[in-house]
Amino acid sequence: MPTNSYICTMARLKYPIGIQDFREIRTKGYHYLDKTTFIHRILTEGKYYFLSRPRRFGKSLLLSTIKEIYSGSRELFEDLWIADHWDWDKRHPVVHIKFAKSDYQGLGLAQAIFNELDKSAVELGVTLSKATFKERFEELLVVTARTHGRVILLVDEYDKPIVDYLEAPEQAKANRETLKQFYSVLKDADPQLELVFITGVSKFSKVSIFSDLNNLNDLT
């Protein structure tokens, strides 16, 4: 039976409408419905995942939560189920690609991907030298794994550069080919990867950019 003080505390919490960052929710007084039991199952029972959901269904928050888990941010999970069911010394470097926040419309998709990879490299403290985004992605995974351990790769809204151009078929097709090159790196990157989690709006089978990655566990 909840105590009066517990009920008052819950009443003071705010609803995290539109907030996609787990750290912000947990440190700034927002409600969080504990889904860590299910997240733990995902993290311990597989390696390659795909999830398709409409926008505002919590995909970005899910990836943000996974990032904090592998970053060892135990303080954010106090009073949640996973706090006592996870080895918090089990840390891995996280590469988090957010296509919704990349400027592919202004810079072009190839340059936007290049910039995202450089941003991740800076966060992880590694140096990249390759010339193309495909080579740079491969280099990021290899160097990070060698320096910090196997990589957690999180890709949010993988299909946004295509979905945004549905009324411009030629550009959508060009972006699809660019993304196909980008994701093809994962085919041979298994030794460097601890977990891959990709989210989007459209089913990957309909977009046809994962032909080289046929081991995705579709949670949709």
Report mean pLDDT in 10-residue bins for the chain, 220 residues: 44 75 93 94 94 84 96 96 95 94 92 95 95 95 96 94 91 92 91 95 68 74
Distance between CA 181 and CA 37 in Å, rounded?
35
- pTM (two decimals): 0.88
- Paired sense of beta strands 48-52 and 193-200, if any: parallel
Report pLDDT for 53.
84
Tokens linked to 199: 């989210």
- C-beta separation of 57 from 80 below 8 A: no
Q: Return the pLDDT at 126.
A: 95
| Residue 34, SS3 per DSSP | coil
Q: What is the pLDDT of residue 7?
A: 37
In the block, tokens 């941010």 appear at 73
Question: Nearest CA to 25 among 36, 14, 39?
Answer: 14
How far from each other are the two terminal CA atoms of the chain, in whole angstroms?
Answer: 36
